[in-house]
Amino acid sequence: MSKLSVGIVGLPNVGKSTLFKALTAVDINIANYPFATIDPNVGVVSVPDERLDKLATLSKSEQKVPAVVEFYDIAGLVKGANQGEGLGNQFLAHIRETKVLIHVVRIFKSEEIIHVEGSVDPIRDIETINTELMLKDMETLERRLKTAVKEAKTGDKGKAKDLKTLESVKKVLDDGKLVISADEDVVNTPVVRELGLLTAKPQILLLNGETQEASDELKKKIEDLGFYFIVADLSKEVNLEGLIKESYKTLDLISFLTTGPKETRGWTVKKGSSAPQAAGVIHTDFQDKFIRAEVINWEKLLEAGGWNEARAKGLIKTEGKAYIIQDGDVLLIRHS
């Protein structure tokens, strides 16, 4: 399953734990000093989805099971985290478990809340975090390159190609760039993906403060990095739906649904997934034993008044293995 797992990262005292608490309503320790978060807190949040509610009502389902997002609150990183400063190594390891990062950047000014660097400078702070992630990636990459050099000497063409790919990734880091800025084909190569490189993960920058506190220079910097950003005053509100939608968009994820008297459920797949791949998300056996999928858009199903009514009107399509799942498809999988 393409489960959405989000790591919340940033310097200490920028609002990470406040964001996590607002998102998950989990009562955690939020304190005005670095490393108040000793272990990564994990919160599971339901994906808001009006389609689920409407289909559950239509099908008179006994239960609704929404798609979920896992949020990891990762303790504050500081300069030198890649070498273990401030419990850094431990938390950098936790970031590997996530698929996308919400990078919280403080833009609000306050004399009451200390800043680990002594002043509020969002551009410097973004560079500090990304530098730590890049240094950790370089360490991981250099270790893998030693093995790759030995493997390439065996004469295996595939291993020689892997070495070349890893060397191209090293050059990206040597140039002071994030791995995600490399060619997409390179980033998605199995030999690169298996390393779980931290800077290969998409980032959403959440600027904690008022809109007017986000300078044009800061916006330009974010634009140059190629990241999406949101400005939010975390002391007031968090738009959970907006954050989840952006996370889905960033990762190219979509949702499809299944519905019936027992349950209506939301499922997450990568955009471009085939019907058998979607079937495999429901149950691993279904992908190999897939025969066909009966498909209808959720709105058309609602308009028809139910599955049987939609079938009578010829609205249910029968699709084979080549069918590409669309966001909002309602599926009935037929398998052997």
Q: How far apart are CA 49 and CA 240, in angstroms?
A: 12
Q: How far apart are CA 254 and CA 2, in angstroms?
A: 10
- Evaluate if residue 182 carries a pLDDT over 70: yes
In sequence order, which residues have a C-beta less than 8 Å from that of residue 204 and are 6 or more positions away?
100, 101, 102, 103, 227, 228, 229, 230, 243, 246, 247, 250
Q: Pick the range with the lowest mean pLDDT from 44-58, 112-126, 173-187.
A: 112-126
Q: Give backbone dihedrals phi and psi of 330, rounded to 5 degrees, phi first.
A: -105, 125
pLDDT (0 to 100) of residue 246: 83
- Evaluate if residue 31 carries a pLDDT over 60: no
Instruction: Assign 168 a pLDDT band (cuts: 50, 70, 90).
Output: very high
- For residue 293, give the amino acid letter: A
Query: Please, what is the Cα angle at 223 between 221 and 227, to 5 degrees?
Result: 105
pLDDT (0 to 100) of residue 308: 94
- Evaluate if residue 314 carries a pLDDT over 80: yes
Q: How far apart are CA 267 and CA 333, in angstroms?
A: 13
Q: Indicate whether this model's pTM tops 0.85.
A: no
Pairing of strands 290-297, 329-335: antiparallel
- Evaluate if residue 57 carries a pLDDT over 80: yes
- 230 vs 39 pLDDT, higher one: 230
At 224, list the tokens. Answer: 């140059």
At 109, list the tokens. Answer: 């000014």
- Evaluate if residue 84 carries a pLDDT over 60: no
pLDDT (0 to 100) of residue 334: 94
pLDDT (0 to 100) of residue 37: 42
At 163, list the tokens. Answer: 């070495």
pLDDT (0 to 100) of residue 140: 92
Instruction: Assign 157 a pLDDT band (cuts: 50, 70, 90).
Output: very high
Q: Which strands sit side by side in the sheet containing 68-73, from one edge to the other?
A: 41-46, 68-73, 4-9, 100-106, 203-208, 228-232
Q: Pick the range with the lowest mean pLDDT from 22-36, 134-148, 258-272.
A: 22-36
pLDDT (mean) for 307-336 = 96
Task: Please state, rounded to an integer, the average pLDDT across all residues of the chain.
Answer: 85
Beta-bridge partner residues of 290: 335
The H-or-E segment that residue 22 falls in is helix 16-24
CA-based nearest residue to 327, from 285, 286, 272, 263: 272
Q: What is the pLDDT of residues 266-302, one digit of tens each?
A: 999 999 999 999 999 999 899 999 999 999 999 999 9
Other C-beta atoms closer than 10 Å to the C-beta of 153 total: 11
pLDDT (0 to 100) of residue 34: 40
Instruction: Assign 11 a pLDDT band (cuts: 50, 70, 90).
Output: confident
At 24, list the tokens. Answer: 């998950």
- 64 vs 112 pLDDT, higher one: 64
pLDDT (mean) for 105-133 = 84
pLDDT (0 to 100) of residue 83: 57
In sequence order, which residues have a C-beta less than 8 Å from that of residue 121 and are 6 or more positions away?
none
Where do the domains of the chain lie, and which CATH numbers do they carry? 4-251 (3.40.50.300), 272-335 (3.10.20.30)
pLDDT (mean) for 117-130 = 87
Instruction: Assign 80 a pLDDT band (cuts: 50, 70, 90).
Output: low
